[in-house]
Every structure is written in structure tokens, then in C-alpha cells.
Chains A and B, each alone.
Chain A
Amino acid sequence: MSFIRKVRSLLWKEIRSELQGKEMLSTMIVFSLLVVVVFGFAIDLNKDLMGGVLPGIIWITMTFAGILCLNRSFTAEQQNDCLYGLMLCPLDRSAIYVAKTIMNLLLMVIVEGVTIPLFFIIFNYPGPQQVGLFVIVLLLGTYCFMAVGTFLAALSSATKTGEILMPILLIPLIIPVLLSAVIVTKGSFGLVVSGADLYLKILVVYGVVFTVLPMLLFDYLLEV
């Protein structure tokens, strides 16, 4: 079997186990709705100021929802020693990483599809001026987040304090992603930002670096 076909069958396994309970997806959606509402209570600004704050709020919410998703990503495999089962499969271990990343990305995209329109409704802010750029930065930012996040989820699931350790490892590593994503999102709102295209390039570079490195290092994570 080629690498892609292996990833595809692993991904299918992920989707099926999610479809069985739909636990993760529903929890993530409810959680991010709650965060939106909490921000709605906490922040009361007029429209001009809102544009400057909204990108940050969007990315903070996505970070929280993403951490929720990542915490389950590998710890769920520890039931009945499923992780060992996966490791025994005749495949490159990096295939497990790729399949998990794609699955987490899919979950996040669904969550974003549901909650992001609500941001504009709750904060009464007109939709982004450059919708294309907005969608691109959302996808790219989420991908960078999940590429690093899935790897660190695997790492922290092997420790005693996994779930509280994960955010501590993750957040310092994704600071360049959050920074760039917030700036490009602001740009897509039609607000004046200098160098939005540069930040888009940083996201691409980060995405490439943190796809290659985890794939190289993933074998070392899943040693018995």
C-alpha cells in the first residue's frame, strides 16, 4: 500500500470512531459557542473598535477549541491500548501523525464553519471585505495550529500530566502562527495593516517547517 492509501484508511478509521459518538465535535461546537457568548458579555465596543479586536477574539476561541480537540486526540487511543495496536500496524508511524492531523483539521474546519458566522452576528460586525483572504488565513492558520498541536498531543499523551502539559507546550510554539493569523485576518477585514502578505508567507513557511519536522521526529515519539 502506498503512503497515501495508508493515511486514507487510518483517516477513515478516525472518522468512523468520531461518527459513532460525535462526542468530540458536539463538545467543541458547544464550547466555542460558549466562548463566543462570554466574549459577547465581556466586550462591548462600537463598530470601529470592534474590527481591531474581533480577529484576536476569533483566534483565541479557535485556540481554546483546538486545545480541547487535541487533548482527546491521542488520549482516546489509550483505551484498550489502541495506540499499541496502531503502532503494530505495518505502516510508517508518520502515517498515524498525518491521519490524526487531517482528522483534527477536519473537526476544526467544521467548528469554524458553525461558529465564525456567529461572531459576526453576535458582535454585529459586517462580514470580512476580502472573503477569499479570510477563508485562506483561517485554513492556513488552523493547519499550522493542528500540525504542531497533533504532534504535541502525541508527546504529552505519553506523560503523567498530559492534559495540563499540552497547552504549556503548545502555546509558546504557536505564537508566530497566532500573531501572523491575527494580522492577516485584520487585513481581510479591510483594515489597514502593513505587510499582510509577508505574514501570509510566514504562515506558509511555518506550515512547511512544522509539517516536515514532526514527520521526521514522530518515529521517536512512538517508541515502545
Chain B
Amino acid sequence: MTENTRTSLIEKVLAWSTFLTVFVALYLALVYAPTEKTMGDVQRIFYFHVASAWVGMMAFLVVFVASIAYLLTRQANWDIYAYTSAEIGVFFTTIVLITGPIWAKPIWNTWWTWDPRLTTTLILWFLYLAYGKIRLAIGEEEKKARLAAVFGILAFAVVPVDFFAIRWWRTMHPGALVTSNGIALAPDMMLAFFASLFAFTLLYCYLMMRSVRIERIKAEIRLLKEGMFN
């Protein structure tokens, strides 16, 4: 029981700190940060858009690492990490794909463009939807974990190729914010930006923790059921 109580304590702390940081980030992004000179208030989408994109990418990286770890160690825990992370990643990538066009329409005068970043994000979204589909299509736990891990590795390997393939098309998307010359952002905006980045990362950790726990409980129930009927 001690481990359980410790986990629930960590979860509680994480939940409250996520709750508070999200509020602070919201305040900073919507009120504190100055209105952008040319774009106006629409620019405030930026704080949510980029933060979601960051969480999405990080989540898919976790899927990749956890998939490799699963194939090497065959511990069900890694599979649970990979699966929950993929789920959360798809969710945040969906946010990116929705907020992006809302921001792009007034600024670029088009909802969508075949820019490397947009296209790569879209393809990633499709890939991890497919990843979820594999899991739905297999009954046996071990096989499900194994095949999903194989696809998780393959899916992440295609990302750099995608990016370079699409890169030679004309780019419309703004470049990297953080370059070797420093950060191209007004200090007030920077604060709001990093606050929302931090808030979203905490949110990711919290969601991960919750869904990992749910998956573990599910596995436990499965074991109990098998024990009951056999």
C-alpha cells in the first residue's frame, strides 16, 4: 500500500501544480503579454499552438523510446507508456491542427498550406492514428504490444525523411524561434510563452500518470477475470 499512497500523493501534487500553472499561463498569454503589432490578438493562439506542438512531438518521441525499450526488455510497463503517450500525442496534435488553420486564415489568408512543418505534423497525426488502429485490431496482449512497438519505431523513423522531402517546397511557416543568435521574441511574450510551455508539459505529465494508472488497473482487472473463469 505504501507505494500506492506515494503515487497518489505525487499525483495530487502534480494535479494541483498543473492546475495552478495552467491558470498562470492563461493569464500571461491572454492578459499580460502585449498584443502583437501586425497580427493583433490572433497571435495569442501562438502560446497554445506551439506548446501543444511541443507536447505532441515529445509524446511521439516517448512512444519511440518506449517501443524500443519494450522490444528489448519485454516489460508490459513500457508498452503502457508507449500506448498512453501515443494517445495523448494524438490529442495534442489534433489541437495543433485545429489552432493552426484558425491562426493561419487571417494571417496567411489561407487555412492550409503544404509547408514542411504543417505537412509533417499532419502525417504524424495519421501515423499515430494508425498506431492506435493496430492496437484495436489485435486481441492478445503480448502480440498487440509487440506489433505496436514495431510500428512505433517505423513511424518515428519516417519523420526526418518526411521533413526533408517536403522542405524544398516553399516555406510559409515561421522559422525556428530559438536559434544560436538567441530568442526572437519580446521579453513579455517570452515569459508568457515559456509559462504555457511549462504548463502544457506539466499537463502532459499529469495525463500520462493518470492514464498509466488506468491502464494498469485495466490489466489487473483482466488478470482477475482470467483467474475467475479459469
To the question of whether A and B form a pair in one complex, the answer is: yes
**What are 7 A-B pairs with beta-carbon distances under 8 A?**
A151-B154, A155-B151, A161-B137, A165-B137, A172-B123, A206-B161, A210-B154
Q: Which B residues touch A151, using CB under 8 A?
A: 154
The residue of chain B having its C-beta at the shortest distance from the C-beta of A203 within the complex is B165
Q: Is the interface of B mostly helix, strand, loop or mixed?
A: helix
Q: Could you list 17 further interchain pairs (A-B, Cβ under 8 angstroms) beyond the known A155-B150, A179-B166? A: A155-B151, A159-B138, A160-B137, A161-B137, A162-B137, A168-B130, A168-B133, A169-B130, A169-B133, A169-B134, A172-B126, A173-B127, A176-B158, A176-B165, A210-B154, A220-B150, A221-B146
Residues 114-127 of B, flagged 1 when their CB comes within 8 A of A and 0 if not, give 00000000010011
Flag A85-124 by CB within 8 Å of B: 1 or 0 each.
0000000000000000000000000000000000000000
Query: Is A202 close to B, CB under 8 A?
Result: yes
* A199 partner residues in chain B, CB cutoff 8 A: 165, 168
A217 touches B130 (CB 8 A): no
B149: nearest residue on chain A (CB-CB)?
A220
> Which of B129, B155, B161 neighbours the largest number of chain A CB atoms within 10 Å of its CB?
B161
Chain B residues bordering chain A, tally (CB within 8 A): 28
B143, A158: Cβ atoms under 8 Å? yes
Using Cβ atoms and an 8 Å threshold, which residues of chain A touch B139?
160
With CB as the reference atom, state the residue of chain B lying closest to A162.
Answer: B137
Given that A173-B154, A179-B166 are contacting pairs, would A209 and B137 also be in contact in the complex, using a CB cutoff of 8 Å?
no
Residues of B bordering A, CB below 8 Å: 71, 123, 126-127, 129-130, 133-134, 137-139, 143, 146-147, 149-151, 153-155, 157-158, 161-162, 164-166, 168
Task: List chain A residues, Cβ under 8 A from B137.
Answer: 156, 159-162, 165
Q: Is the interface of A mostly helix, strand, loop or mixed?
A: helix
Is A76 engaged at the interface, CB distance under 8 Å to the other chain? no
Is B153's CB under 8 angstroms from A213's CB?
yes
Contacts of A156 in B (CB 8 A): 134, 137
The answer to whether B161 and A176 touch across the interface, beta carbons within 8 angstroms, is yes
Residue of A nearest to B127 (CB): A172
Q: Is the C-beta of A205 less than 8 angstroms from some C-beta in chain B?
A: yes
A148 CA / B151 CA spacing, docked (Å): 11
Residues A202 and B165 in contact, CB atoms below 8 Å apart:
yes
User: Which A-chain residue is minimally distant from B159 (CB atoms)?
Assistant: A176
| Contact A160/B138 with A168-B130, A173-B154, A223-B146 known, Cβ cut-off 8 Å | yes
Residues of chain B contacted by A210 (CB below 8 angstroms): 154, 157-158
Closest to B155 in A: A173
Across the interface, which residues of B come within 8 angstroms of A162, CB to CB?
137
For B130, what are the chain A residues with a Cβ–Cβ distance below 8 Å?
A: 165, 168-169, 172
Question: Separation in Å of the B128 CB from the closest CB of chain A?
Answer: 9
